[in-house]
Structure 1
Amino acid sequence: MTTGTLIRARGATRPANRPAWPTVLAMHLLPAAATFAAALALGPLMRAWHLPPQFALTLAFAFVLTPIELGLLLAAVRAARNLRAAGWSPRRLPEILAFRRRLPLRLYLLILPCLTAMAVGLAMLLAPLERRVLDGYPAGWALPPDSDAYPVATLVATLLVTLLVDGLVNPAVEELYFRAYLLPRLPVRGALAVVTSAGLFAAQHYWQPEKFAFIFLAQLLLIVVMLRVRSVRISIAAHCLTNSLAILFALATVLT
């Protein structure tokens, strides 16, 4: 089965009107741009409150990125003609989303460890490249934060909030927005749609330039798996798992 066939397979919606490229680029790139701007604006406040600078990004995710993406999804529900005729409600959100197939537990137990192992291997492979990028770019958002600069209690508290926001809530909403909603509506098809989706998702991580290659390659793998099983649920689970593991590793580093 080809990638193009997978995108049109059962569990995928077939939007009547696909947005033009300017709209596609805006929907992929502008929410994160607003988020990054909010995080930069919160930087002085973090310093004034003696909090790690990374926590500004967590707050921006919670109060800018996730609300924008959810708002755009709900706006799409309201704009859908068939849903307006039937009576608009936020509970109708699944009706505009693709790849809604439910999966048996055995598939999660089989796929998630494989995806996690591949992500870890990819991260190790790309680590030298990421260090070279960081040498020339003051990223400032990398985890874990400097354990000598802040009290352990402060670091633990901010990382636990980050675990909730960026380990669970934000990646789940991102997968619904980017994969279940935007991917089927791209103006391109087949393998080009997969590459475009992964590339735009990587490009909107403005605060992680050292991670562009990793995010792009990891997303390629994740999208292909999602299309193969026709379920955004597996990509949500994998995204939450990998994000959470990175934050838990940072937490373990702080506590040791």
Structure 2
Amino acid sequence: MTKDVSRHTLIQSIILHLFPGIIMVMVDFLLVPLIMGYGVPNDLAYNADTVLALVPIQLGILLYVTKRNTGTYKIASQLPYLEKSSLKEYLIFIPLMAIWAIAVNDVLTPLEINFRDTVFTFIPTKYFIGNYDLSSFSNWKIILTSLVCLLLNGFTAPIMEEIYFRGYLLPRINLSQNKAILLNAALFSLYHFFTPWHFFSRLLMTIPLYYWVVKKRNIRFSIVAHIIANSVTSLSMLLYLS
């Protein structure tokens, strides 16, 4: 069943995409020095903003518009991309997206690091995620950081972001399908203000995924792909202990 949705103006779409990111980067600016003062990786600060900013803002907006539009708090009523897909489609498409993401990451990461170190010199290096020597941390701090990152960055943030950005915002962009997908991907990449040097890799990784979400009218594809990608990243530092 297709849900009819009202479209946002272009200005509304831009604000709703970027506002959570603005608040998050402000929280990060305050938290990173505090967290690092306790001698733990700065990843914890960027994960804390999931609890302090990401979820409260995005969930708050969804609850507000749902209550305004329906008189209830059933967020699913505002999400048109909840149609079902076969297990076979997941088993084929998700691995393909993983291969694509790995390829994009391998090609662009060296270029983006160089871009960061030459263009974003005004940002103190303490705000660069992962810009530290793992050998300077005890094993328990590495394990704690990985587990917190897995919970917040691996599961909580991807689920919330996909429901908000792909489930709610994408269908309401008042453009043609392909232009809406491109704008949604671009604004979502820009929303990560704390790592602007990864803009192009995020954009290239996500456009095919979002196209498939719209084609199948099913945000579960992007939820699963996002969880897998973030979970692998969150647990990667545990390889140091092996």
Q: With structure 1 as the length reference, what TM-score do the two structures score?
A: 0.87
2:122 maps to 1:122? no
Q: Give SS of 1:72's match.
A: helix
1:72-151 map, 5 Å = 72-80=61-69, 83-84=70-71, 88=72, 90=73, 92-136=74-118, 137=120, 138=123, 140-143=127-130, 145-151=132-138
Calculate the aligned-residue CA RMSD, in Å. 1.6
Structure 1 CA distance for aligned equivalents of residues 97 and 131 of structure 2: 23
2:206 maps to 1:219? yes
Give 1:145 shift: 4.4
Aligned to 1:186: 173
Give 1:103 shift: 2.0
2:30 maps to 1:41? yes
The verdict on how the C-alpha distance between 1:242 and 1:144 changes in structure 2, with shifts beyond 3 A counting, is farther
Structure 2 CA distance for aligned equivalents of residues 230 and 106 of structure 1: 16
Q: Percent identity?
A: 27
Answer yes or no: is the 8 Å Cα contact 1:33–1:206 preserved in 2: yes
Aligned to 1:69: 58
Give 1:52 shift: 1.5
The one-character-per-residue Cα deviations of 1:213-253 (angstroms, maximum 9, x if unpaired) are: 0111111111011122221011100111111112222322x
Give 1:181 shift: 0.5
Structure 1 CA distance for aligned equivalents of residues 221 and 157 of structure 2: 15
Give 1:150 shift: 1.6
Structure 1 CA distance for aligned equivalents of residues 131 and 228 of structure 2: 17
Give 1:144 shift: 7.3
Q: Which runs of 5+ in 1 are unaligned?
A: 1-9
Alignment match of 1:244 (pick from 227, 231, 241): 231
1:23-34 map, 5 Å = 23-34=12-23
The one-character-per-residue Cα deviations of 1:91-112 (angstroms, maximum 9, x if unpaired) are: x110101210122222211111
The one-character-per-residue Cα deviations of 1:195-214 (angstroms, maximum 9, x if unpaired) are: 11111001111111221101
4+ residue runs of structure 1 moved beyond 3 angstroms?
138-141
2:5 maps to 1:15? yes
Answer yes or no: is the 8 Å Cα contact 2:185–2:207 preserved in 1: yes
Question: How many residue pairs end up in the alignment?
Answer: 237
Structure 2 CA distance for aligned equivalents of residues 48 and 192 of structure 1: 44
Answer yes or no: is the 8 Å Cα contact 1:123–1:214 preserved in 2: yes
Structure 1 CA distance for aligned equivalents of residues 198 and 105 of structure 2: 9
Structure 2 CA distance for aligned equivalents of residues 67 and 34 of structure 1: 11
Aligned to 1:167: 154
Answer yes or no: is the 8 Å Cα contact 2:42–2:129 preserved in 1: no
Structure 1 CA distance for aligned equivalents of residues 128 and 84 of structure 2: 36
When structure 1 is superposed on structure 2, of 195-204 and 105-114 the one drifting more is: 105-114
Answer yes or no: is the 8 Å Cα contact 1:143–1:250 preserved in 2: no
Q: Give SS of 2:134's match.
A: coil
The verdict on how the C-alpha distance between 1:141 and 1:159 changes in structure 2, with shifts beyond 3 A counting, is farther
The one-character-per-residue Cα deviations of 1:116-158 (angstroms, maximum 9, x if unpaired) are: 0110011111123112112223563433742122212101101
Aligned to 1:7: none
Structure 1 CA distance for aligned equivalents of residues 33 and 134 of structure 2: 20
Q: Which residue identity does 1:178 align to in structure 2?
A: F
Structure 2 CA distance for aligned equivalents of residues 174 and 34 of structure 1: 15
Q: With structure 2 as the length reference, what TM-score do the two structures score?
A: 0.92
Q: Which runs of 5+ in 2 are unaligned?
A: none
Q: Give SS of 1:100's match.
A: coil
